[in-house]
Structure 1
Amino acid sequence: MDKQEILLSAQKIISEKIQQLHHLIAETRQSNVETKSAMGDKYETGAEMLQQEINHLNHQLSENMKLQDSLQRLNNKASITADLGALVETNNGIFYISAAAGTLSFQNRKIMCVSPESPIAKVMNGLVTGQTFTLNGTSQTIMGIW
């Protein structure tokens, strides 16, 4: 498997989320301005709700920027053990221990981008090909690590 292409795909997903959040924040700010002009002094409740939405979007933006930073710091060296930067295939799926970027499709296969702090990454940490682990009552065997 080509970890470089998978990393680029994960970075693209996060970059698109960041762009979308910037767009939503700008739209919400514009709505706040329009609400103020249309309603005069009686806009306080609506303005507060819009401000809360902007705060929520800014928080999501901050989290996604942290994910983007984490992905940019990863290297693509071959991995022997299941740890940060490893692409791990088990009998139940493929996991890229990188950042919680969600699921991406690569060569018609689904790859779950998971944080090193996720339960599955913690259970797999340090394991090698052929080893088995159990998570939530499900046993999985590591078929390969890249």
Structure 2
Amino acid sequence: MTLKEDIYHACLKTLDDKIEIAKSSMEAAQESANNETKSSAGDKYETGRAMSQNERDMYAKQFTDLLHQKKVLGSIDPKKKMSTVESGALVKTEKGLFFISISIGLVRGKMNQAMAISPISPIAQQMLGKREGETFDWMKKSEQILEVL
């Protein structure tokens, strides 16, 4: 397994875990809304039910967003060797590894760890189109791209 495949699979595992949590939370909130019983206070029932429904809607949105991210990640071929920084590239810089894919932050694979960032993130925008050996400016400093995988 290559380093890029390791990071790719770590992203996939992180996403699957987040999807499962969002799905379970969404189902639990729906169950809570369904089980709200009418109290003698009257409005309390409707308020509790509305709060549970809002919570369910929030988890449903997270679930949908995560499924979209999984689709985006699925469109990346981790075996493809890149010569320039683009979506799907694993970029080694002086600061560390960046996987240009989806925005889920730090992921830990078996071989190393990397920041999984979206191609539209500010740092990715500075790197896009660059090759090994080229530099980009980030946080008022010049950073060198050591390798593009």
TM over 0.5: yes
> Structure 1 residue 138: deviation in Å?
2.9
More helix by share: 1
> Structure 1 residue 4: deviation in Å?
1.8
1:90-129 alignment, distance < 5 Å? 90-107=93-110, 109-129=112-132
Q: Measured at CA, do residues 9 and 107 of structure 1 come closer, stay the same or move farther in structure 2, by a change above 3 Å?
A: closer
Are the aligned partners of 1:67 and 1:101 in contact in 2 as well (CA < 8 Å)? no
The answer to whether the aligner puts 1:39 opposite 2:39 as a matched pair is yes
1:57-76 alignment, distance < 5 Å? 57-76=59-78
Q: How high is the TM-score relative to the length of structure 1?
A: 0.91
Q: Measured at CA, do residues 138 and 53 of structure 1 come closer, stay the same or move farther in structure 2, by a change above 3 Å?
A: farther
* Separation (CA, whole Å) in 2 of partners of 1:9 and 1:110: 9
One-letter amino acid of the structure 2 residue matched with residue 49 of structure 1: M
One-letter amino acid of the structure 2 residue matched with residue 27 of structure 1: A
> Structure 1 residue 7: deviation in Å?
1.1
Q: CA RMSD of the aligned region, Å?
A: 1.6
Count, aligned residues: 145
> Structure 1 residue 107: deviation in Å?
4.3
1:144 aligned partner: 147
Matched residue SS, 2:39: helix
Matched residue SS, 1:82: coil
* Separation (CA, whole Å) in 2 of partners of 1:14 and 1:38: 38
Are the aligned partners of 2:6 and 2:110 in contact in 1 as well (CA < 8 Å)? no
Deviations 1:28-50 (A, max 9, x none): 11111222x25375411111111
Question: Which aligned segments of 4 or more residues in structure 1 are displaced greater than 6 angstroms?
Answer: none
